[in-house]
Amino acid sequence: MEDQPLNVGDYVARLPYAVGHQLGNEDLVVGAFGANHRSIVQMVTPWDEQTPVVDVAEQIARMLSRIEQPAALTVVGYGPHGGLRAHQLANNLQPAVQTTVLPIHVHDDTWRVLFDDRHGHWTLPQPVPDHAAELATRGVLAPAASRTALEASIAPLPEPTLTTLNAAKATELDGLSPQQRAALATTTLDRVATARRDDPAQMCLLAHLVTNDVITRDAVLAHTLEDRIHDDRIDALVRTFRAAPPEQRLQLAVLAAAATYFACWHAPQVRGLLKHADPLATFPKLITAALNAGFDPRKAHHTVRNGAAEGLQQAQEAWTAAHSHTLDPNPDGPTPARTDAVRSEPTAAPTTPPRTGRSAPGL
């Protein structure tokens, strides 16, 4: 079946939802499409008079070369000068990508497309459709007012609403096996994700579990990859980071940035979280490099799940071996009946009920 023409009006109307924020007079958006105009990526590039347009085109072409080969590209320019800018960028981009590039100009709630590249002729302006009501009924979040507002939506709260756990509770949790900690953490994450309002006690527990043990952190990250529809688990991690005390933010930001990246959240949100992440941690460096390279995070889901499962299994085996050796009263003599094997797991039950619903990968 032949591809249908791109509905430019609908595409332009939905662009702020695709990038997460309203677009201003200095913005350009480069859109890459596969067959039947399936969106591959939509990249916002603020116009900078000091940067030669050829350099911008080369940078975008390098990013596009690392992802799926697009069948077509669009360059959307905003504001009174958006048409000229879109035309210039498209002309410099087309030789590098060797595919069709369509310049689009959006200004004063109208759109037009360039149909004569040689003479610079545009179609007559058409009104941008209003899909706000339709998208709202489908549960699509309204775009932020600006890129700055989008970044502010993931910034730490002015005053933390969470505290660290008391020493006695922290010691109790530290005595759990790796599997118990991971199960408790994923259960707690689900409780925070499904609650109608923030639960400080559960959020404090979650923050402690994921900032004191890398194995638990990775198990929670893998658990978020199951969140296919509303990103409730990822949102719970972001809210926990925002409300946490300063001493926990560095590590919580690492986890929140990784979770939002793998869930394909908007790049300004991921980069905003990375600004608060531990600069010495490896994860933020890898995510930043992947963002800059335009790597598709969905291709790494399998690796994240497998790595978390293998790490948890190895940690549990090491914990069991260490505790079994400690509990053996005569390691060099005859092996007695192993009544102590049952007691090698802590007898204190977790403070939350067993996790329901889908099992976390690797648990």
Helices (H), 20-111: 53-65, 82-97
Name the DSSP letter for residue 160. Answer: -
Average pLDDT over residues 293-300: 85
| DSSP per-residue codes, 116-153 | ETTTTEEPPPEEPP--HHHHHHTTPPPPBSSHHHHHHT
**Predicted local distance difference test score (pLDDT) of residue 67:** 72
**Predicted local distance difference test score (pLDDT) of residue 350:** 31
8 Å CB contact between 70 and 32 = yes
Q: Mapping DSSP to helix (H, G, I), strand (E, B) and coil, where does residue 81 land?
A: coil
Residue 241 and residue 250: Cα distance in Å, rounded?
9
352, HSE (Cβ side, Cα atoms, 13 Å): 22
How does residue 281 score in pLDDT terms, banded at 50, 70 and 90? Answer: confident
Reported pTM? 0.72
- Judge whether residue 95 has pLDDT over 70: yes
Name the DSSP letter for residue 21. Answer: B
**Predicted local distance difference test score (pLDDT) of residue 226:** 86
Round the average pLDDT of the chain to a whole number and report it: 85
Average pLDDT over residues 106-116: 96
**In the chain, what are the domains?**
8-145 (3.40.140), 167-344 (no CATH)
**Predicted local distance difference test score (pLDDT) of residue 341:** 32
